[in-house]
Amino acid sequence: MTDIQALYTAVLEGDAPATRELVRQALQEGVDPQKLLDETLIPAMDEVGRRFETNEYFVPELLVAARAMKGALELIRPLLAVRGAEPAGKVVIGTVRGDLHDIGKNLVAAMLEGGGFEVIDLGVDVPPEKFVAAVREQGAQIVAMSALLTTTMPGMKTVIEALEQNGVRPKVKVMVGGAPVTQRYADEIGADGFSDNASGAVRVARSLVVV
């Protein structure tokens, strides 16, 4: 019988091979994949997020945990899809046009994946029309944008305007982040959510999907 506590610990420690093996074992033994996700894997990632926020974990530990979680989801998602179960939400993420910084964006993408979201990463220097096209083609519920430069930050507003002009703004929630970005700026440009850190971004994304 699979040691569920060992699975929880494997995610917590970012041990991807062990996580994958334990999930595989559990599924073979007939453990309900939804239960595995809701009662073990997501709580483990929540604990990773908590440790990160209380400065017990650094980004590398958070990332390896997210990778372990991703490996687990690769086994679980197809089974959930057969039942018609959906991921927590679908997020299109990118760094805005003219900005090549991707560390923060990658971090948020990894945490969102770890939090059960399906993430479509558009990369860096993403033009507004690419965000619009991705929303249309992927049916995303959330657009997440990052900028590190004060000179590229206005690109977030441009994307929101492009979403409006193309008639897709009502279909998506927009969240923003990055070193120069503030809650006030997010409010000014009409974004729905803002976070100044990666694990906070998962909470924001969850709240936006619920709304």
Partner 1 sequence: MKEVWRKEGVAQHEQRLAISDPDDFVFGQAPFPVCCGRGVQIGSGKVIPEINFTLPPMEINPQTWPDVRQQYAEIIESVCTRAVALDVADLLVEFETLPPMTIHPQWGVEITRLLADTLAAYHEKYGLQSALRLTPNDCRDQERPPRMRSGPYWDSMVQLFHAAADAGADLIAIESTGGKEVCDPGLMTADLWQVVYALGVLAPRDMQFLWREIVSACRATGIVPSGDTACGFANTAMALAEQRLLPRVFAAVVRVASVPRSQMAYAMGAVGPSKDCAYEGPYMKAIAGVPISMEGRTAACAHLSPLGNIAQAVCDCWSNESVQNVRLLGASAPVVSLEQLAYDCRLLNVAARSREHALLLRDWLVASDAVLDPQAFVLRPDVVLQIAGEIIQEDNPYRQVRRAVQTTLTLLRAAHRDGRVRIPPVEVRWLDRMERDADRLPDTETAFCEAMHAFLQDVSYLPEEYGLDA
27 lines the binding site for partner 1 (CB under 8 A): no
Q: Which of residues 32-71 bind partner 1 (CB under 8 A)?
A: 55-56, 58-60, 63-64
CA distance 106 to 20: 22
How many Å apart are CA 41 and CA 60, to the nearest integer? 19
Question: For the range 196-200, what are the long-range contacts, defined as Cβ-Cβ under 8 Å and sequence gap of 24 or more?
Answer: 197/53, 198/52, 198/59, 198/62, 198/104, 198/107, 198/108, 198/110, 198/111, 199/49, 199/52, 199/53, 199/62, 199/111, 200/53
Residue 123 near partner 1 by CB under 8 A: yes
Helices first, then strands: H and E counts in the chain: 10, 5
119 lines the binding site for partner 1 (CB under 8 A): no
Please report whether residue 124 would count as binding partner 1 according to CB under 8 A.
yes
Strand order in the sheet with 142-146: 118-121, 90-95, 142-146, 173-177, 193-194
Task: Residue 144: name the closest of 78, 96, 83, 188 by CA.
Answer: 96
Q: Which stretch binds partner 1 (CB under 8 A): 30-38, 74-82, 138-146, 149-157?
A: 149-157
3-state secondary structure of 144: strand
Q: How far is the CB of 84 from partner 1 (least distance, A)?
A: 33
153 touching partner 1, by CB under 8 A: yes
Q: How far apart are CA 54 and CA 2, in angstroms?
A: 30
Q: In this complex, which beta carbon is closest to partner 1, that of residue 63 or of residue 174?
A: 63
Residues 73-102 that bind partner 1 (CB under 8 A): 98, 100, 102
**Nearest distance from residue 12's CB to partner 1, in Å?**
15
Identity of the residue, 39 or 125, whose beta carbon is nearer to partner 1 in the bound complex: 125
125 part of the interface to partner 1, by CB under 8 A: yes
106 forms part of the interface with partner 1 (CB under 8 A) = yes
The answer to the question of residue 187 lying near partner 1 (CB under 8 A) is no
Residues near partner 1 (CB under 8 A): 55-56, 58-60, 63-64, 98, 100, 102-103, 106-107, 123-125, 150-151, 153-155, 180
